[in-house]
Structure 1
């Protein structure tokens, strides 16, 4: 798939604020703060500054919609985890995210996990939540450039003690060198063409 155009549409908190649904799937990206959601969106859309990146965890506080090729949306959801923000604000972000995930919109969720870390309780809660509600999702392991091949093998072994998956069923991505980008985009295209159940 070739992404020719990607534009920020709007930010939203409540369902009434979401843009009008398109006929295609929309693809949401979720993960703990600082997992690399914005960097991944920028990488796969070939736009350096489409999604705002920050070294400060927890910068994405709203649901951000991006229109891709005038056909479908990428949706950047608030991060969860160790952001240094008041508990009340964290709770609001959680509700913002949960409202979206529970909405009837035709969506697939990419759950981003840092390859260097064993999934947190919040990561596992997210996977269970999506599974429970029957929301289709795929895991993307980010920051692949940070580890050697040997370290990757060990990291995946440790992660598999918490999450059950086959390497063929997940994606691996590095926003530094764009490795894994084509596989993700091919999957997005397959979803749009109705080739994925």
Structure 2
């Protein structure tokens, strides 16, 4: 049995590797969702005229890794309090969102967000939207598995954008509520 999870966390290059390394993850695809333009290109999404977010669609085996575990991994990759984008990537297409595929995912996402807010880890509440999943459009091939295809550029981007330091400073390997 397989399920899908869809998360927007800023630049999709940075959202693949964290999920890709876990057992039970079948596939992580970079792409676009949440907007109104059919089959958008990267350039169109970056123009902020499509309504789409950069996102990842994860195909996973829930008997090996749960949706709750995926949510924990997700929170640890982003600045959940930033409503304007992520790190140096600004604008609607880089904003954060959890796109739920079922009512159970919606409930679990809301519960997880509330748990994060109550943890006191951040001084402001999470600005992450929880939205119904829409059509997911895979990004161009050169965006897929970017961390494998361009490891030096990927690492430089992680550090240069401020994402890597933020994750180290706020999480240091600890999960929500710990």
TM (norm. structure 2) is 0.32
Report 1 or 2 for greater relative contact order, CA contacts < 8 Å, sequence distance ≥ 6: 2
Greater C-alpha radius of gyration: 1
